[in-house]
Structures are given as structure tokens and as C-alpha cells.
Amino acid sequence: MPWSTAFDDPVRMGNRRRLLTLQDAADYIMQLPEDTQHTAHWQIAIETLINAAETGGGWVMFARIAMLRALNADGRSG
């Protein structure tokens, strides 16, 4: 699946920003400080995004869930 694959429902963030695609989520993670990217919850989100881009299917849903969990763990969700 391409990185432009959309989530079934956007990942909504506290600042009214929405992550619509796998690429949006990956870009967001890449903008985080490097030490934040290396925390367990963001590593899980990264691995799940890669799996979604490589295989598609249910992995896209799992990637969305991993993003929501990582944002929640950091207090960035809204």
C-alpha cells in the first residue's frame, strides 16, 4: 500500500490538527524530538506504520490505534 493510504477515520489531535494518511502520521513522528521518537510507544507506532505501508489491510487500522495510543501517552491527543 502506498504511504498516501488514508486512515478510515482521521487521527485527531488536541490542536485541531488531523492526520489523514500514513504519510501524515510518519511526517508527524519525524518532527518529534529524537529522544521522544525512541520511546516505546512511538517505536510501536513507527513499526505499525511501516507494516501498514508494506502490507495494508488491517495494519492500517492498527497503525491508527498505535498513533492514538502514542499521542495519548504523551498527552498530545485531544
What residue ranges do the domains of the chain occupy? Answer: 6-73
Report residue 9 CA to chain centroid gap.
Answer: 12
pLDDT at residue 70 is higher than 60: yes
Instruction: In whole angstroms, give the CA distance from residue 76 to residue 36.
Output: 12
pLDDT score recorded for residue 1: 77
Question: What pTM, to 2 d.p., does this model score?
Answer: 0.90
pLDDT score recorded for residue 46: 97
pLDDT at residue 78 is higher than 70: no
Question: pLDDT tens, 37-69?
Answer: 999 999 999 999 999 999 989 999 999 999 999
pLDDT score recorded for residue 14: 77
36, 5 contact by CB (below 8 A): no
